[in-house]
Amino acid sequence: MTQDERWLVRYQEVMGFLEENHRNPSKHRIEEHDHLNWLKANRKAMNAGKMKDERVEKFGKLLELTEQYRRKNQYE
């Protein structure tokens, strides 16, 4: 599996998590740390200008979705 394929798989996992749970990954739940760390690492790479162009557009859509669910109360 290439790096691009792994990135796409992780992208689909995080996107699925957001659509299913209607909230961002929590830093307090151990099982969600992989998603949270992936988001933070890619956000940092994008802000530094190190992300590939084809990933920037997809990741931008993901960030829009995370903004939509920002600070969502988990008990709603």
Burial of 25 (C-beta count, 10 Å sphere; 0-12/13-18/19+): buried
pTM of the model: 0.85
What pLDDT score was predicted for residue 3?
Answer: 94
Each residue of 14-27: pLDDT tens digit?
A: 999 999 998 999 99
pLDDT band at 74 (very low <50, low <70, confident <90, very high): low
Please state, in angstroms and rounded to a whole number, the distance separating the CA atoms of residues 20 and 23.
8
